[in-house]
Amino acid sequence: MKVFLDGQLVDQADAKISVFDHGLLYGDGIFEGIRIYDGNVFRLEEHLERFEYSAKAILLKMPWSRQEISDAVCDTCRANGLKDGYIRLVATRGVGDLGLSPWLCPKPSLFVIADKIKLYPQEHYEKGLAIVTVPTRRMNPAALSPAIKSLNYLNNIMAKMEAQQFGALEAIMLNDQGLVAECTGDNVFVVHKGKIFTPSAQQGALKGITRDAIFDLAAKLGLPMEEHELTRYDIWNADECFLTGTGAEVIPVVKLDGREIGNGTPGPIFKQVLEAFHQLVREDGTKL
């Protein structure tokens, strides 16, 4: 496998980052997860825009133009003959000393990995996931905005491990007010009486690219949808629930905290959205 690293496509074994890189030492960096479907990099421009927003938020001055980053993404896919898969785009603060100071890191690093991914076993895409609410709370936006896709994912990893301890593959994370924020790498949606609801960024949700696509699809399908505060109770008593994310794509949830959601099978609105999503991902993006 070829990996793009600082301007070059190198063999996987040679794709190495220094132990003094602050991305590793302090989680000081940003990333994007991007999908490619049948040679179409889904919503690449939106990902590159969010990448730039994340960089700005952490005062990381990227010395690469949007076009250069876009080329790095596409070239990595081409070099690996990847037409369907997952792309990880990462910018780190770069090499510095052992202190925190980002000002002592003169040169950020950029790398791109393009590979296959399957976030959850296939059977759950058909039958749905049983998930749990975990004790670890989503980061307070005043501490570190969940809108920034930073390399600081320990919070989400703790939640993922807690889910596993309860025998579940995914976790609902609440914000510090006890409202539903999102899952460890996915946005969450419920359907109640024909209407779709999802938490807002203020409630701790990342503004997911897949989430945006669901808003577009709902509008196209004539399904009412809005951002709304959600409690665990709202999910327990929803007619349907599903998650979205670049890695996860669109996956139904049929149980939360031992409570069956709706009739315990993937619902009709989920199925309608999923079908429209499968069509959209082949059309909306950048062709290799």
Q: Which residues are part of the catalytic machinery?
A: 149
Told to check if 206 binds ligand PMP by CB under 6 A, we report yes
Told to check if 245 binds ligand PMP by CB under 6 A, we report yes
Told to check if 175 binds ligand PMP by CB under 6 A, we report no
Q: Residues 29, 94, 128, 185: which binds ligand PMP (CB under 6 A)?
A: 185
Q: Which stretch binds ligand PMP (CB under 6 A): 53-61, 242-250, 260-268, 269-277?
A: 242-250
- Using the minimum distance from each CB to ligand PMP, give the nearer residue, 47 or 93: 47
Of residues 72-131, those binding ligand PMP (CB under 6 A): none
Q: Is 70 left (phi over 0), alpha (psi -120 to 50) or beta?
A: alpha
Q: Are 199 and 147 in contact (CB under 8 A)?
A: no
Told to check if 255 binds ligand PMP by CB under 6 A, we report no
Told to check if 182 binds ligand PMP by CB under 6 A, we report yes
Angle in degrees, CA 145, 213, 3, rounded to 5: 70
**Sign of the C-alpha dihedral, residues 232, 236, 239, 245?**
positive
- What are the residues whose beta carbons fall under 8 Å from the beta carbon of 185, sequence distance 6 or more? 119, 156, 245, 247, 248
> What's the closest the beta carbon of residue 156 comes to ligand PMP, in angstroms?
6
Q: Residues 40, 54, 109, 187: which binds ligand PMP (CB under 6 A)?
A: 187
Q: Residues 211, 252, 256, 285: which binds ligand PMP (CB under 6 A)?
A: 211
Of residues 6-65, those binding ligand PMP (CB under 6 A): 33
- Using the minimum distance from each CB to ligand PMP, give the nearer residue, 23 or 96: 23
CB atoms closer than 10 angstroms to residue 107? 10
Q: Quote the CA–CA distance of 94 and 201 in Å, as a whole number.
A: 29
Q: What count of Cα atoms within 13 Å lies in the side-chain half-sphere of residue 248?
A: 24
Q: Say which DSSP state 245 is in.
A: E
- Using CB under 6 A as the criterion, which residues of the chain lie in contact with ligand PMP when the complex forms? 33, 156, 182, 185-187, 206, 208-211, 244-247
